[in-house]
Amino acid sequence: MRSMLFVPADSEKKLGKGLESGADALILDLEDSVAAANKPAAREMARAFLARHVPTKNRPLLMVRVNALDTGLTDADLDAVVGVRPDAIMLPKAEGGRDVSHLDAKLTAREAVAGIDDQTIKIVVVATETAKAVFSLGTYEGASPRLSGLTWGAEDLSADIGAETNRAPDGRHTEPFRIARSLCLFGAVAAGVQPIDTVFPAFRDTEGLTRECEEARRDGFTGKMAIHPAQVPVINAVFSPTPEAIAEAEAVVAAFAANPSAGVVNINGEMFDRPHLTRAERLLKRAGKR
């Protein structure tokens, strides 16, 4: 997944626009973008939307962001949507692998009741929304075979720690949030799941979004969440490997395949070692070439 677009689950109009956005995944939101009084209606709208679109071809991945485990609302969210088989559940405000295991158990019970194969529904976690959560980013490995992605959030974290802002005047995140970002990246890679960068709130600032996407891709993130359909083309473009990058990766893989015992290979006068091979294989996998 390159782009994951948040869509309030209580807005038919925005749900429809989400389908037309070109996003690789839609996140039907039952949490922050839905007022408390609208949550019952949002559950029903999410269920109806999933029932219509999950069986269709050539659709984006469809996931649902439920309310956090400590709100008392998660079970009602899951009861509404599991039976219509969303591709994934996004868990906000998670504080470690135990929360993923807890959600896994809830999904397992509901899949069994609905006659759905075990582990059909995956889990994506927002893993840095409290100070406590930051210290648990190394606990996701082995928490659940459902876990497919880790992302991070700066807005709730800034409220939790009492920060005046989470961005400097140049638009980049300040140091506490860059630490959370880096630890999320390390935690995702350690767990063997996709590292996903957080949202860029200034949706009209295309230049700033492009810069943040390029920095995220440079550092190892392989996708980014969006809050507006206009952000999707930028995210898709930045996180799609270029033909030149694919050609170089293919050359690296071919060179090591031809010299399987080599620790270093020479390609057009440039030396490539085993870490280059690992990066090349990952890039080709993202490009659908492996």
Closest Cα to residue 104, out of 146, 69, 150, 66? 146
φ, ψ for residue 23 (rounded to 5)? -65, 145
Three-state DSSP state, 120 = coil
Q: What per-residue confidence (pLDDT) applies to 46?
A: 98
Say whether pLDDT at 284 is over 90: no
**Contact predicate 24/43, CB 8 Å:** no
**173 pairs with which residues across the strands?**
167
What percent of the chain clears pLDDT 70, i.e. is strictly above it?
100
Please report the domains of the chain, with CATH numbers, ordered by start residue. Answer: 3-239 (3.20.20.60), 243-286 (no CATH)
Tens of pLDDT, residue by residue over 107-126, are: 999 999 999 999 999 999 99
Tens of pLDDT, residue by residue over 196-254, are: 999 999 999 999 999 999 999 999 999 999 999 999 999 999 999 878 888 888 888 88
Amino acid sitting at position 32:
D
**Residue 279's pLDDT band (cuts 50, 70, 90):** confident
Q: Which residue has the higher pLDDT, 259 or 53?
A: 53
Q: Which residue has the higher pLDDT, 288 or 271?
A: 271
Say whether pLDDT at 169 is over 90: yes
Beta-sheet strands, E only, within the chain: 3-8, 25-29, 61-65, 88-91, 122-126, 147-151, 194-197, 223-226, 264-267, 270-273
Q: 162 CB contacts (<8 Å, ≥6 apart)? A: none
